[in-house]
Amino acid sequence: MSITTERTSLTDLEHLFEVADGGVLAQKFAKALSDVALAISYTRKQGEVTLSLKIKPIGESSQVMIDHTLKYVEPKERGKVIEEDTTSTPMYVGARGKLTLIPETQQQLFAEKNESSPIK
């Protein structure tokens, strides 16, 4: 198997973050990182950001439900703030375990501009 084939059969993490929780997970993760980093710079205390993924099957299909939990510990002068947020995204499991929002076997629903329609 070539390196190119191997890469295209892997789950695209960038795309996964774009679609997880309707695209909001990436924004929440970025905000948590920024807030914790800022709090650390002010307090000089340790903080933490954790992203946890739990994957479970959906019935007898080739789909899985991914529960993503974002937890962060933001240090304060006298203590800390702990926040946890869990949401879920259904995904299809394709060839070699590649996760996608839409099945890779999905057929083209509409003809391209230059293609003629078989229906007359």
Task: Decide if pLDDT at 59 tops 60.
Answer: yes
Whether the CB-CB separation of 99 and 17 falls below 8 Å is answered with: no
- The two tokens of residue 103 are 């099945």
Q: If you ran DSSP here, which 8-state letter would residue 115 be given? A: S
- Residue extents of the structural domains in the chain: 3-94
Mapped onto helix, strand or coil, the DSSP state of residue 54 is strand
What mean pLDDT is reported for the chain?
87
**Number of residues in the chain:** 120
Q: CA–CA separation, 43 vs 52, rounded Å?
A: 26
Q: If you ran DSSP here, which 8-state letter would residue 94 be given? A: -
Tens of pLDDT, residues 68-116 = 999 999 999 999 999 999 999 999 999 889 999 988 875 666 766 665 5
Quick one: which H or E segment has residue 66? Answer: strand 63-76
pTM for this one?
0.75
Average pLDDT over residues 20-32: 94
pLDDT at 57: 97
